[in-house]
Structure 1
């Protein structure tokens, strides 16, 4: 079963990879978009969502190591259940993790913000209420969100990592329902792409790490303003981990 779990993890990763064949990424993201009802997903629905043939979609799952589309769905469903059980089982061992991370962030920022306070809870509640969560930005910014993406997917929320450079080609047709867009990248290109995606999707919610006046955010995770900690490779993963812990708490996965 370990090998099967790795296949599912790689499948999710492939949906985030712009280097793989375009049709493969389309199939991956289309599957994720139906994660809340994956057992009722059919090759016909996938073909309609991706503009590919049933046969092309079927061959793709075989290339990924699954004998059939049905075996893939069963493996994915089992993976989701096992991940949820593992999170709950470990919850008592790590129940103070959110507070610990919060204290670390407070120390880094000299107590400027309450990291386990309203901003994180608001962001977590938005994600919990939405059918889809799209993490948008440069890869070095959004890669730390991958564990949270997996947790969201295993909680039956469709979640995607999307680079700024592929935003204009993001298949918004696969998204049906409420959407949260999460970003930590505040380049003009990224902000413009997010605003366009919000317009395409309708009433999407925006969660921003760091305030940008040109981005109409519904929730803002405050920036760490202490100049001693300008290394984003340290700060962003810490903030994402805190958001993950708060999300699991508001979702009932943490006591």
Structure 2
């Protein structure tokens, strides 16, 4: 029986699922859906279709990895609930992989001479704020994930001595602020992917960095604020 890693990425409007072979690290298959607010109704279907299309069943899945956040509160909740449900039902371990770190890995893996850059994924957090982190090509954390209020001085330390590649849904807000800084580079069309989550989860699996199926909660980075509607 095949031993597979099932990875889920639901932190953004893209709902993404991937399968990797645990022993070889080979990507077995992937699928994604780009449809706003569709995760709750389509995630289970995407998982079923991917398993069927790759001639596998849930009994072949030995571990589940989920994108840990930060990102969409609702999306992260849906992904966490699905991952925990699968792990509980199949009695298999759970892994949680940083959304920002997996984005950085995704870009670094496709960059020529990746060691020459620092990688700064930015996720839109409304107005001029982003969720951001900075990583080296090997995944070493230079700046831990943080809510970052963007202005002309943001990331000045990183930009002072490195070529900094910025990408993700919040990067477009930062570009005009550093338009005259040749150290800042911008990539567009980069979205969170379950393939990158799976690539990092393979290493986490070997290190046995498992999370509690009962108590795991996504890394929201900031408290979620809700308001009570006023009575008419």
Specify if TM > 0.5.
no
For normalisation by structure 2, the TM-score amounts to 0.32
If each structure's helix is expressed as a fraction of its own residues, which one has the higher value? 1
